[in-house]
Structure 1
Amino acid sequence: MSKKTFTEKEIKQLKTNKYVKSVSSKGITYTDEFKHIFIEGKEKGKFAREIFEQCGFDVEILGTNRVKSASKRWQKAYKENGIIGLRDTRAENSGRLLKSELTLEEKNARLEAQINLLKAENELFKKDTICRKGDEEIELPPSQKYVLIHAVIEKYHLKHMVKYLCEIAGVSRSGYYNYFSIRSQEQRKQKDEKDEVVKEIILKAFNFKGRKKGARQIKMTLAGQFNVVYNLKRIRRIMKKYGILCPIRKANPYRRMMKATKEHRVVPNLLNREFKQGIPCKVLLTDITYLFYGNGKRAYLSTIKDGSTGELLAHHMSERMTIDLATDTLKKLEKNRNFKKSKDALIHSDQGVHYTHPVFQKAVKKLGLRQSMSRRGNCWDNAPQESFFGHLKDEASIKACTTFDEIRKEIKQYMIYYNHYRYQWNLKKMTPVQYRDHLLKTA
C-alpha cells in the first residue's frame, strides 16, 4: 500500500470519478469495470499511467507508487485466475466479528491512550525526516525509526501501541521487535566493529596521495596499492554509513530519479524552426539562463517570448533553480493582458528538466497550449530565445548589480526597453510592441 494519504479536497475529486467504488484518506477501491479496462489497455501495450489518465484519474493525486502496486496486483490476479481474479471479494469473505460494547473504564483508558498517542505522533513526525538544502527531505532508514518509536513509547508509557506507531512510521512491527532482540543487538555490534576496521582501510585509499576519490577509484587503489580486494557495493555501503563523500563529479540523484520513475516526458519538435508565422501569440518560446552579478553571485531568469513579434510576454527571476521558476513564468503569462492566445498556439522549449516535468506539462495543458521541444543538444531549434539572452547580457548592466533586488529591477527595466524602445531591423524597423500592433491591424 502507498504511504501517500488523500486530503479532503482530493477525496471529493476522486469520488466524482465513475471508476471509483470507495475512497478514504488512506486508500481507494476501484470498480471491476475499471480493472477490466486496465487489463485490456495493458494487453495493447499501454503504460499504467496512461490508462489511469485516460480514465480521468490525476496520477499526481494518486501517487506513482499506488498506480504501480495496483498494476502489479491486477496483472498477477488476471494471470492466475483470469477475469474472476479481478473481482473484489473482500465483503463476501470478511470474517470479522461484531465489536462488543466497551465499558466506561475501557473507554476512559482508550481516550487517555489516544491523548498520549497524539503527543507521540507529533514528536515522531518532527523527527521522522532529515532536512537537507531547500525543501528536499531524505527519509530516515528503518533502524533509526525503530529507535524513535522505542523512545516515544518509553517517554509516554504507551502499552500495546507498537503496531500503531509502526504503521504511522511506515515500518513493520516484526522488524521493530527483531531490532531490539538480544541476538540482533549482538550481531549489529559485531558488524559495526568489522565496519570500523574496513572504514580505516578505505580511508587510506580515499586520501591516498592527498586526492579524494570515489568508490571505483578507491576499489582500484586498494587493489593496486594495498593489495586489498573489496566488493564495490561494500565500499559504497561503508562510505554511505560513515559519510565519506567524494567532493568531485557527484552523481545527480534527481536525474537518476527521473529515469527510474519515467514521469518526465519529452515531446516532439512541432515547431521545426518556423518561428515567424505572422500571428501574434501563436508561437511562444521559453528558456532559462544564468545571470552572474556582484561578487560571484548567480540569479536565474526564465522568459517567454513571442516568436512572431519578438515581444517578451513574461519573465520571472529567482535565486534558486526550482520547478517554480518555469511554472511561475506561465502564471505571469496568463496574467498578461496583452496575451491573447491564438488558435493552435504552442510553447517551445529545450528538453530541460523544468519542461519535461509533469507539473509544468500539466500547467501548459491548463493554459490550452500545445507543447514542443527542441531536439537534444540542438540550440538552433530555439535560436530567437538564445539570441535574446545574448543581447540581454551584452546590453543590460548586470555585473554592476550587487544585490538580487538590484538585478531584478535592472532586468525589469531592460524588458520595458526591449519591448517598447528597441527597434529591430527584421521587424520592419519597428519595436516588438509596434510590430505586434502592425500584425493585428493587417490580419
Structure 2
Amino acid sequence: MSKIMFTETQRKELESNPNVIKVSDRSITYAPAFKLKAVKENGEGKSPYHIFVDHGFDLSVIGSKKPKQCVKRWREIFQKYGEDGFYTERRGKGATGRPSTKDLSSEEKLKKAEAHIAYLEAELGLRKKARRTRKAGEEEEEITTSEKFQLIEQVVRTHGFPHLIQYFCELANVSRSGYYNWLKAENTRQKRERKDEADYEIIKKVYDQRHGKVGALQIKMMVENDEHIVMNHKRIRRIMKKYNLMCKIRRANPYKQIAQATQEHKTCENKLERQFDQQEPHRVLLTDITYIYYAKGQKAYLSAIKDGATREILAYYLSTSLKMDIVYTTLDKLMEREDFLPHPECLIHSDQGVHYTHPDFQKKVRDLGLDQSMSRRGNCWDNAPMESFFGHMKDGIDFKACSSIFEVKQAIEAYMEYYNNHRYQWSLQKMTPAQYRGHLIAA
C-alpha cells in the first residue's frame, strides 16, 4: 500500500487519464491494455519513467518510484501468465499472484446476498431519516463518506458479517483503508461529541431563556457577555442545526400603503435619506406607531421613539386609542428624560402617517427646537430601523397570552428594559444600546 494519500482533485485528475480504471485514496487501478503496452515498450528498451510520462501521468502526484515498481510487477505477471494475466484480477488472492478459479459456493452467495440486503436496508433507513429533517423544496443530499463508514460498521455489528468488509466497501464505493482509519478515529469522534454536548447545554440555556426567538449571533454575544465563554458563531450554528434548534422568526408581511394625508396635513422633506447612524447620540430620532393584538382580538397601539445612533428606545407610550394624544405623550416622555440632551441639529424622522403630518404635531416639534423629516410615501425602508424594532419586539413577546391591557403594558416594560440594557447587538460592537451610548459619549 502506497504511503501517498491522493486528494480529491488529484483523484479526479488521475481518473481522467484513459489508462486508469479507478483511483482510491492510496491506490490506482491501471487499465490492462496499458499494463500490456508498458511491458512491451519496456522490452523494447524504453524506461518505466518515460513510459508513464508519455502516457500522461504526473510523477509528482503518483510518486517517482511508482513506474519502476509497477513495470517490474507487470513483467513478472506477463512472464508467468502471458497477456491473460492482465485481464484477471489477482491482487489479494494469494502470494503466488495466480488467478483465482474458485467459484463461490451456494452458502457464500447466500451470505453475500444477505449482506447486500442488510446494507441497503440500513442506507434506506438513513435516507428516510434525512428526508424527515429536510426542509420543503430542498434537494436530497448525497450520503457522505463518513455516513457510509457508519452504515458499514452498523451492519457488521448488528448482523455479524466480519469477513465481508471488503464487499461492503465495494458496495458503498469507499476504500477499505479509509474505513479502518475511520474506526481508529473513534476516540477522537467521541471527544468531539462530548464537547458538542457540553456546548449544546450552554446554547440551549440561552435559547430557552429567550423562548427560542434568538439566533446564533445573539447567542454568541449573550454567552460571551453573561457566561464569559468565547464560542465561534459558526460553531453555534452547526450545533443548533445538529440538535435542531431553530430560531423562531416572524413571517414577512407586505407593508400596507400609507394613507394619503388630507389637504390641511403637510408632509415634510426626507432630510434623513436613510443616514440613520450618524455616530452621535440624540442627533437622529426615529418614531412610529404599531398595532398590537392581544387576548381574543383586542387591539392596542404603541408609539415609540428610537435613537438612530445607539438604537436605544428613548420614549414609548401604549394606548387603546389612536387619538393625537398618543404622539404628544410620547414626545413629552422624551423631553422628561433627565439624560436627554437634544443635539443642536436634532432631527425627528417618521413616516407620512396622519399623526405626523398633523399641523399641531409639527408645531409641537418646532416648539421643542427639533427639525422634522419624513419617509417617502409608501416606502417603509426609509424608516427601516423602527420597523425592525417593532418586528423583533413582536417576536419576543407573546401578546396573545396577555389577557388585559395591563399585562400588555407589563410585558412591554420588561422587553424595553431587556432591549435597552441587556440585548447585545452585533453591529453595536457586541454591546447593548445603553453600553454603546456610553461608548459614543466617551469617544
Provide the TM-score with structure 1 as the length reference. Answer: 0.41
Specify which structure has the bigger relative contact order, considering alpha-carbon pairs within 8 angstroms and separated by 6 or more residues. 2
Provide the TM-score with structure 2 as the length reference. Answer: 0.41
Higher Cα Rg: structure 1 or 2?
A: 2
